[in-house]
Structure 1
Amino acid sequence: MFGLTADKIIIIAVIAVFLLGPERVPMYAAKLAQLVKNVRNMAKDAKSRMRDEMGDDFDDIDWQKLDPRQYDPRRIIREALLDEDEPETSVIEPATNEPKPESRQQLLESGKEVMAPPFDAEST
């Protein structure tokens, strides 16, 4: 929490005892305890209010995913580009009205009329 280790907290407490004096230390310790209790109660009230407003959906949310510290645009782009869960796309040949060469040849041999596909010069 804020980079404070147990050693640093003990040093801060010793300095506070010397600066405040032994008469005022219990009073300030009680005020600190009251402040910590108030902050915990506010956090608990905010969480319960959020749960009331969101209903059953509150428990279904993965809060770790919404942590802005996990946002790394390079990782997101890398995962999107290298995502292997998607099915492989294949090259699709364009559809034409013209029959395939084998079937067109068969149609010509059978005597049926084979027309060229329609072409619109203004569309290209």
Structure 2
Amino acid sequence: MFGIDAEKLFVLLIIGALVLGPDKLPEYAAKFGHLVRELRRMATGAQEQLRQELGPEFEDIDWNRLDPRQYDPRRIIRDALLDDPADVQRSPATKKTAAMEVPSPPQGLLPGQGVPFDSEAT
């Protein structure tokens, strides 16, 4: 409940009992119970009102499918760039897309190998 384990909840209850005292503790516990019941009633009423206003066609919606946490931006971009993902064969050297070939990043220089230089870029 709210990320609080049993020990912390027990310590909070003891502190609350000491601060409020035995005279006011039952009164505040009753107020808290009434607040919880009222919040549940309001939440149920809001759900029923939403169902009535949206109509029966919205009862069959799979809300988990619309959860933004399930989307992988890399998969979305890859699917958008590929014509048919089953037709493309990926090799470790290059990844082919519908529009261009994307080279894989260099693995590093071998001993004695010079740094790559592009004369057209300078």
Q: TM-score, normalised by structure 1?
A: 0.57
Cα distance, 1:19 vs structure 2:
0.6
Distance 1:37 1:60 in 2: 29
Q: Determine which structure has greater relative contact order: mean sequence separation of CA pairs < 8 Å that are 6+ residues apart, divided by chain length.
A: 1
Q: 1:65 to 1:5 in 2, by over 3 A?
A: farther
Cα distance, 1:66 vs structure 2:
4.1
Q: Give the total of aligned pairs.
A: 85
Q: 1:5 to 1:78 in 2, by over 3 A?
A: same
Cα distance, 1:14 vs structure 2:
0.6
Aligned-partner SS, 1:21: helix
Instruction: Give unmatched runs, 5+ long, in structure 2.
Output: 88-122
Cα distance, 1:3 vs structure 2:
1.4
Q: Which has the larger radius of gyration?
A: 1
Q: 1:13 to 1:45 in 2, by over 3 A?
A: same
Instruction: Name 1:47's counterpart in structure 2.
Output: 47
Percent identical across equivalent pairs?
A: 39
Q: 1:9 corresponds to which letter in structure 2?
A: L
Q: Which moved more, 1:1-10 or 1:18-27?
A: 1-10
Q: TM-score, normalised by structure 2?
A: 0.58
Deviant stretches of 4+, over 3 Å: 65-68
Instruction: Give unmatched runs, 5+ long, in structure 1.
Output: 91-124
1:7 correspondence with 2:7 = yes
Match among 84, 90, 97 for residue 88 of structure 1: 84
Root-mean-square deviation (CA, aligned residues, Å) is: 2.7
